[in-house]
Structure formats: C-alpha cells, structure tokens
C-alpha cells in the first residue's frame, strides 16, 4: 500500500489524504498510511502515492505564489 500525505491537521483532516480530499473513497486507508508532509517527504519515492505528490506540488506552488515566490518544479524542491 502506498503512503499518502494528509490534507491538514485538525478539523477532522488528520487522516484524509490530499489525493482524495474531495472523494468519498479515502476511508479504506489505515491512518498509518496518511502522513504529515515531512514524513511523506522522507518516505522512499517508490512507496509514495504519486497522486498525493502531484497534489502537494500544486498546493505548494499556490502557497509560493501567494508569497510572491516563483513556482518549484518538484514537490520537495528546496525543503531538505
């Protein structure tokens, strides 16, 4: 099973993966497979959900744009 990145903390979002935030099919995922961004980033690439990684990149670039920063090409660029 792939590891997913969680949408957020609080408000019941702790175990909702980014890739299925508006979907109804995420409830089958055990909580240990939904990680905060830092743990998700440290997971080996072959174990990460690619949909979550793509969505995380979109979210990150929206946040960077709001701060006046240029977009990044990969989800974890510059976070090491």
Higher pLDDT, 63 or 32: 63
Higher pLDDT, 3 or 33: 3
User: What is the percent of the chain with per-residue pLDDT over 70, rounded to a whole number?
Assistant: 75
C-alpha span between 56 and 19 (Å, rounded): 9
> Which two tokens mark 22?
């508006």
DSSP annotation of 3 reads B
User: What is the percent of the chain with per-residue pLDDT over 90, rounded to a whole number?
Assistant: 24
In tens, the pLDDT along 43-80 reads 898 998 888 899 889 989 999 999 999 999 998 888 76
Q: Report the sign of the C-alpha dihedral through residues 52, 15, 42, 3, in that order.
A: negative
């Amino acid at each position: 099973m792939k590891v997913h990145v969680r949408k957020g903390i609080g408000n019941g979002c702790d175990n909702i993966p980014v890739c299925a935030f508006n979907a109804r099919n995420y409830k089958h995922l055990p909580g240990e497979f939904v990680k905060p961004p830092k743990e998700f980033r440290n997971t080996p690439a072959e174990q990460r959900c690619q949909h979550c990684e793509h969505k995380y990149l979109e979210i990150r670039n929206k946040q960077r744009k709001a701060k006046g920063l240029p977009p990044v090409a990969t989800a974890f660029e510059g976070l090491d």
